[in-house]
Amino acid sequence: MQIQPILAALKKHKIPAFLIVLEIALACAVLCNTVFMIGQRISEIHLPNAIDEAGVSVINVNGIDPKTANADIPRDLDALRQIPGVTAAAAFNMFPLGNNSWNTDVGTSPDSLFAKDSPNIAEYMFTKGGPEAIGMRLLEGRFFTDEEYAGSKLGDNYLPTSHVVVVTQSLAQRLWPGESALGKRVWIGQQQNYTVVGVVANVLRPGQNGGGIGHFYWAMFLPVSPAAGIQNYVVRSAPQARDRVLRDSVAKLEALSPSVVVKGQAFTEIRNKFFADARSMVWMLVLVCVVMLAVTAFGIVGLTSFWVGQRRRQIGIRRAVGATRAHILQYFQTENFLLSTAGVVIGMVLAFGINLYLMQHYQLNRLPWYYLPASAIALWLLGQLAVLGPALRAANVPPVVATRDA
Amino acid sequence: MFAYYLDLALRSLKRTPVLTALMVLAIGLGIGASMTMITVLHVMTADPLPGRSAHLYVPHLDPLPLTYQQPETAPEPNDSLTWPDAMALLRAHRGVRQAAMAGGTLLLTPQLANLQPFDITGRYATTDFFAMFGVPFVAGSGWTSADDAARAHVVVLAESLAVKLFGSENPVGQTVELGNNGSTPNGFRVVGVTRDWAPRPLFYEDTAGKPYTDADKFFLPLSVAVDLKLDFSGNMMGWGRGSGNGWRTSPRISWLQFWVQLDTPTRARAYHQFLIDYSAEQKALGRFQRPATNAKLYSLMGWMAHENLVPEDVRLQFWLAIGFLGVAMLNIVALLLAKFLRRSPEISVRRAMGARKRDIFVQFGIESALIGVAGGLLGLGIAQLGLWSIRQRPDDYAHLAQMDPSMLIGTVALAIVASVLAGLLPAWRACRVPPALQLKTL
């Protein structure tokens, strides 16, 4: 197949050729970035979370009297543990993906409070049995001792008076890259510090807190004795028994203290709700992609049909002097391939530019390089598919057309 | 002539129904998608208080220490005011009206036996809040500055809450039991009932809230909230040492929003100067460390831009929709070009019979506009469908996604403009067809 005559013919149709190239370029650029955004959302929706998601329920109680909280909470927890099927229960100040969060800036030394890069992290606190109730996975070190729970009161500054902490793997790597975190100190301000006694597999924060996906695992866990404010009961059971256990737990708590507002949710439900926005966004983006590709294909079909119509006589002449149907088919396919290639090259540059702009103005990561060839191939295929119909029609032009008219 | 061209255009479109349908579909989809997002953006950036917004301003002070570094991920502490600063601005009384405020969630204990205690959200404010924002009252009125000073236990309720608590009785003069979750409530005397009022977005709220769904159900004096240490909801941000239970009045903890009404640009300039002077004075006293010229005065719309109320998702979707409209328009240009140039013989005949280039241009322009009208109507339908699907989403702003009449007209106008623009190049090419050459080949 010779490319020379195709290029010569395209030169006669500069504007339509240019339009196809531009359309493919724009489609390629938008496609790259949209598919990338879809991919990011999907990986966000499926972020791993090292707790027993299937077996955990969270029950929020509102309206406990602060004066009697340190007695009411253990009473409630005892009642919950007696419900058949419950394997563990504890009170938490907040829970993963719950949107309500306690956060603080931390550092590795007393002076790092005002450092620009001191990370803002989530501070989980729980009463005795917390790690078992939520199903955390210990990687290094230990969880807290009974004395550490009992000796830790919630202070005026909403920090526990204890001096031990468990951190997530991500936070440990962020604070002490390449070192073991055990025995190191986490500083909050210049006064308070906590010694790391354990490292757990990554647990999600209550929310992204503006920090984006990279900060989503920055969390620490502190022991605390029951107090007002620590009023999310986390109840664990076998996944099959979970719904019944949740119903029973809510009923029991309502019976125990009628003036308190009780709200229970299974963790899977909490997770679904948290990512509902992202999920609907994924569907919308997919829809936009599909429709945009369809519109681009329509454009290619329309313009190629027009070309075929215009060149009927030339095609007839070529057939008359010996070109086969396959030759004609190939001619249009090659022509489309050339135009697509030009479009895709411009499109990749454009996609990269758009990505740079979005990175500057929105929290978006760099486009991985393989998105570019992938969307190039997608548009090549689309172009070939769109051109097939008109090209077949061209191949069917009988040689006799050459002898008609002038 | 117009009617004749319209007739020609209709005939031409009818001759190629598939191509016409494709073009209408393409422009309809492009317009539908982009108008869906433009409408969402329009609703979200709308003026929350038309008629008043032009005179409302937010003073912005910078009491942060020099050593403070703003972490990228946290809200800026100086977007709210500390208690001493807010009280100083209030006492200075340099605006026509001014008010300090903060959000709060309290437990309400109803007197009716059949009602359980429930949480309600509302606002702690100072007296000018109602007059400055033009809050509409159904009964009674707001409290006075004397009430503020006396820390009087008075409350203003939203109508829906008043009806829930008191039914058809007159709520003014009744008592409502309000307090922190878990502590003994205090009795508050109802002095007024407002119509259920919530500007969209709820511009006076801080960034911790949901400005497209939140609504205040009660209002009570800020002085009382501080006096009784009522629970506060919003961003509470401190620098330096914490001050435990007395944090509300700490000079190093910001948590209050402040609005001021200034009726002329001259007064606004004077107020800005006053803020700079105040900062300089505080700096001289050693309380502020940063340059006094850091003090700013934001207009209401400027403040909304500063607070970045429009979520990133919405802006990204907006750009995506614009890109999509671009693809659709390029598509129309290509298809119209093919369509018009195919009719070169017809053009030549018309030219030979005396039509000027301009006439040909107008003829094809009308044909493009016709496609635009059809595409616009289709786009309107698609946009309604898109808005409907957005309203099904759980986002904070989703329920606001509605088209107003100006957006309806805008949709069709955009479609016509887009298709006429798309038709310009093809029509220009068509009117440059050399008649003699074409006639020979006929």
Q: What's the token pair of residue B155?
A: 């409350």
Chain A residues within an 8 Å CB radius of B429: 15
B33 and B86 inside one domain: no
Q: What's the token pair of residue A188?
A: 């909050």
Q: What's the token pair of residue A167?
A: 């951190």
Nearest Cβ partner of B183 from A66, A273, A299?
A66
Q: What's the token pair of residue B354?
A: 């005396």
The total domain count for chain B is 2
Beta bridge partners of B218: B157
| Residue A92 pLDDT class (50, 70, 90 cuts) | very high
Distance from CA of B156 to the nearest CA of A (A): 23
Non-local CB neighbours of B4 within 8 Å, separated by 6+ positions: none
- What is the dihedral sign for C-alpha B399, B400, B404, B410? negative
Closest chain B residue to the Cα of A64, Cα to Cα: B182
**What digits encode the pLDDT tens for the residues A317-365?**
888 888 899 999 999 999 999 999 999 999 999 999 988 888 887 767 7
Please indicate whether, in this complex, the C-beta atoms of B75 and A210 are within 8 angstroms of each other. Answer: yes
The pLDDT of residue A146: 92
Judge contact between A180 and A140, C-beta under 8 A.
yes
Closest chain A residue to the Cα of B109, Cα to Cα: A259
B158 and B285 inside one domain: yes
| DSSP states along A244-260 | HHHHHHHHHHHHH-TTS
B300 and B321 inside one domain: no
Q: d(Cα B160, Cα B138) in Å, to the nearest integer?
A: 11
B32 and B102 inside one domain: no
B179 and B317 inside one domain: no
Q: d(Cα B30, Cα A332) in Å, to the nearest integer?
A: 28
Q: d(Cα A177, Cα A184) in Å, to the nearest integer?
A: 12
**What digits encode the pLDDT tens for the residues B77-86?**
889 999 999 9
| DSSP states along B87-115 | HHHHHHT-SSEEEEEEEEEEEEE-SSTT-
- Boundary-marking domain end, from B271, B290, B307: B307
> Region A22-38: what's the mean pLDDT?
89
Most confidently modeled range among A66-80, A310-324, A388-402, B131-145: B131-145
The pLDDT of residue B434: 80
B276 and B367 inside one domain: no
User: What are the distances in angstroms from CA A221 to CA A93, A146, A164, A276, B330?
Assistant: 10, 15, 9, 27, 56
Judge contact between B95 and B59, C-beta under 8 A.
no
Q: What's the token pair of residue A42?
A: 């999907």
B422 and B436 inside one domain: yes
Chain A residues within an 8 Å CB radius of B117: 63, 259, 261
> Region B105-115: what's the mean pLDDT?
82
B39 and B175 inside one domain: no
Closest chain B residue to the Cα of A273, Cα to Cα: B394
Judge contact between B196 and B215, C-beta under 8 A.
yes
**Nearest CA-CA partner of B300 in B57, B49, B73, B34:** B57
pLDDT value at A116 more than 70: no
Strand B81-82 and strand B253-261: pairing? antiparallel
Q: d(Cα B11, Cα B1) in Å, to the nearest integer?
A: 15
Q: What's the token pair of residue B25?
A: 């579909």
> Region A59-75: what's the mean pLDDT?
84
B333 and B361 inside one domain: yes
**What digits encode the pLDDT tens for the residues B277-319?**
999 999 999 899 999 999 999 999 899 888 877 777 777 878 8
Distance from CA of A142 to the nearest CA of B (A): 31
B199 and B273 inside one domain: yes
> Region B66-71: what's the mean pLDDT?
75
Q: d(Cα B80, Cα B61) in Å, to the nearest integer?
A: 8
pLDDT value at A279 more than 80: yes
**What digits encode the pLDDT tens for the residues A145-181?**
999 998 888 877 778 888 999 999 999 999 999 999 9
What mean pLDDT is reported for chain B? 87
* Number of neighbouring beta carbons within 10 Å of residue B303: 22
Mutate to test the interface with B, among A38, A271, A293, A298 (most CBs of B within 10 A): A298
Mutate to test the interface with A, among B331, B389, B392 (most CBs of A within 10 A): B331
Residue range(s) defining the domain that contains residue B173: 53-307
Closest chain A residue to the Cα of B341, Cα to Cα: A306
Please indicate whether, in this complex, the C-beta atoms of B69 and A23 are within 8 angstroms of each other. Answer: no
The pLDDT of residue A348: 92
Q: What's the token pair of residue A352?
A: 């990269």
Helices B312-342 + A14-45 axis angle, to 10: 150
Please indicate whether, in this complex, the C-beta atoms of B324 and A157 are within 8 angstroms of each other. Answer: no
- Boundary-marking domain end, from B253, B272, B307: B307
> Region A372-382: what's the mean pLDDT?
91
Closest chain B residue to the Cα of A99, Cα to Cα: B208
Non-local CB neighbours of B8 within 8 Å, separated by 6+ positions: B363, B367
Chain A residues within an 8 Å CB radius of B71: 105, 116, 118, 120
**What digits encode the pLDDT tens for the residues B248-262?**
888 888 999 999 999
Phi, psi torsion values for B187, nearest 5 degrees: -85, 135
Judge contact between B340 and B429, C-beta under 8 A.
yes
B408 and B300 inside one domain: no
| Residue A406 pLDDT class (50, 70, 90 cuts) | very low
Task: Please indicate whether residue B145 or residue B404 has the higher confidence score (pLDDT).
Answer: B145
Q: d(Cα A63, Cα A79) in Å, to the nearest integer?
A: 18
Phi, psi torsion values for B315, nearest 5 degrees: -70, -40
pLDDT value at B242 more than 60: no
Cα three-residue angle A345-A349-A351, rounded to 5 degrees: 110
| Residue B247 pLDDT class (50, 70, 90 cuts) | confident
- Boundary-marking domain end, from B257, B280, B307: B307
Helices A371-395 + A325-361 axis angle, to 10: 150
Judge contact between B72 and A215, C-beta under 8 A.
no
Q: What's the token pair of residue B35?
A: 């108008």
User: What are the distances in angstroms from CA A164 to CA A108, A182, A185?
Assistant: 14, 11, 9
| DSSP states along A327-368 | HHHHHHHHHHHHHHHHHHHHHHHHHHHHHHHHHHHSS-PPPP
pLDDT value at B101 more than 50: yes
Distance from CA of B356 to the nearest CA of A (A): 24
Beta bridge partners of B253: B238
> Region A42-68: what's the mean pLDDT?
88
Distance from CA of B98 to the nearest CA of A (A): 31
Q: d(Cα A43, Cα B171) in Å, to the nearest integer?
A: 53
Q: What is the pTM of this model?
A: 0.74
The pLDDT of residue B261: 96
For chains A and B, what is the number of CB pairs under 8 angstroms? 144
**Taking the domains of chain A in order of start, what are their residue ranges?**
4-46+277-403, 64-259
| Residue B442 pLDDT class (50, 70, 90 cuts) | low
B362 and B432 inside one domain: yes
Give the distance from CA A44 to its chain's centroid: 2
Please indicate whether, in this complex, the C-beta atoms of A19 and B330 are within 8 angstroms of each other. Answer: yes
Closest chain A residue to the Cα of B237, Cα to Cα: A104
Most confidently modeled range among A91-105, B112-126, B133-147, B416-430: B133-147
In this structure, which amino acid lies at residue B398?
Answer: A
**What digits encode the pLDDT tens for the residues A198-219?**
999 999 999 876 666 778 899 9
Peptide bond into B59 cis (omega under 30): no
pLDDT value at B159 more than 90: yes
